Structure formats: C-alpha cells, structure tokens
Amino acid sequence: MKERVALIIGSTGLIGSHTLQNLIQNDSFTQVISISRKPLKVNHKKLKEIIIDFDKLDTVELNTPIDAAFCCLGTTMKKAGSKDAFYKVDFTYCINFGKLALQNGVKSFQIISSMGANADSLFYYNQVKGKMENELANMNFPTLNILQPSLLLGERSETRVGEDFGKIMNQVFSPFIPKKYKGIEGRKVANFMMQKAMDTTLSGVNRFTSDQMQ
C-alpha cells in the first residue's frame, strides 16, 4: 500500500480532536503527524507528535511528503487577550502552517475558517478570517478546502460564555433559523472535512458553508 501522510495542527480543539480520531481510524493514511504545543493524550502507532512553540513553525522539518493537511487552529478575542494575540493565532500561525505544508508537497489543504469571513468586514474577527482565507488562496495549493461553519456545537475543554449563550439561543429558535446559520456540531464539521480531503475530484479553492456540512 502506498504511504499516505496527514499533517494536522490544532488537534486538541473541538474540531481538531474529532479530525485527529478520523485520521487515525482512516486506513488510507499510514502516518499522522500532529503539531502541537503540548503532548496529546493519544497513543497510536500511526501518530507522530511534534511538540513546538507555534512561533517557531518555520523551523519544523518534516522530511516526508504530505498528502493532506488539516488546520484546526482558532481562538477568540477574549481568550487571546488582545487583537495582536488573536491575529497571531488566526492569521500568522495558519499561514505559517500552510507554508510548511506546501514546502512538503501537500496535495490537499483543509482549514477551518468561519461564517462571515470577509477581509472588508467591519468586525475584526471576520476581517482576520477573511484576510487569512485570501492569503491562503494566493498560495496556489493544488486543492484548498475552506470550511466556514456557523456557531460550533459540542463539548469544549474550555468555557466560552458567548458561545454557550449562542447555543441556548440556537436551540430555542432552531425552527426559525435558516440552515446556513444554524449551529453545527464540531464532529459533523470534522467528518465533512475528511470527506473533502479524500475527494480527488476537487481542485483549486473551494469554500463550504454550514448548510453544505449539515
């Protein structure tokens, strides 16, 4: 069997943890390389961990061709603590991860963005997501799959008050919310992302919204 290698960053988050499990369980991949800041609580013969400060992503040497890469990084303004810190996670780290994947011949690159991503948005969060999407789109990946989920549902390791309130509202008003704007489970997003990574008919830049992932 041909060796196929997957590269993932952000595998401790809501979508990233599901994606990591999907990759480990998928027989198409013979090796899964996870880049993280601290050791994962996962043991598997296919899994290789690279523990590093994300400020030093440009120093990572993989020495192996990458078939598919998965960027599941993302934070909130509150957790980041400042606009600069938020930008570093949701733009700089994502772009540097993309460069690393390209340097190692990645064929398919997947990234979690957000509904409303727009470089010209009045909202800083959406603005940064839009700039990140545009930068990646200009990097000429053979295939770039950008996922734009709405409110993410599922158990997180940390509490996000704004999201928790949104989940309650989503539940109450669900019958009246258009499918594109309804909350979506992180597991569903991860499963959809895996499907698109395996789809050899895709090429160029592809964007997917929540209604397509539901």
pLDDT averaged over every residue in the chain: 89
Q: What phi, psi does 87 have (nearest 5°)?
A: -60, -40
Protein fold of 5-213: Rossmann fold (3.40.50)
- Amino acid at position 152, single letter: L
Residue 126's identity, in one-letter code, is N
% of the chain exceeding 90 in pLDDT: 78
Residues annotated catalytic, as ranges: 125, 129
- CA-wise closest residue to 114 among 184, 35, 197, 10: 184
pLDDT score of 13 more than 80: yes
**What number of residues does the chain have?**
214
What pLDDT sits at residue 52? 97
pLDDT value, residue 109: 98
> What gap in Å lies between CA 3 and CA 25, rounded to an integer?
15
The predicted pLDDT at position 39 comes to 93
Q: How far is CA 65 from the centre of its chain?
A: 20
Q: Where are the domains of the chain?
A: 5-213
Specify the pLDDT at position 35: 98
pLDDT in tens, 137-194: 999 999 999 999 998 996 545 454 444 444 334 444 445 455 555 788 999 999 999 9
pTM for this structure? 0.88
pLDDT at res. 165: 41
Distance CA 77, CA 84 (A): 9
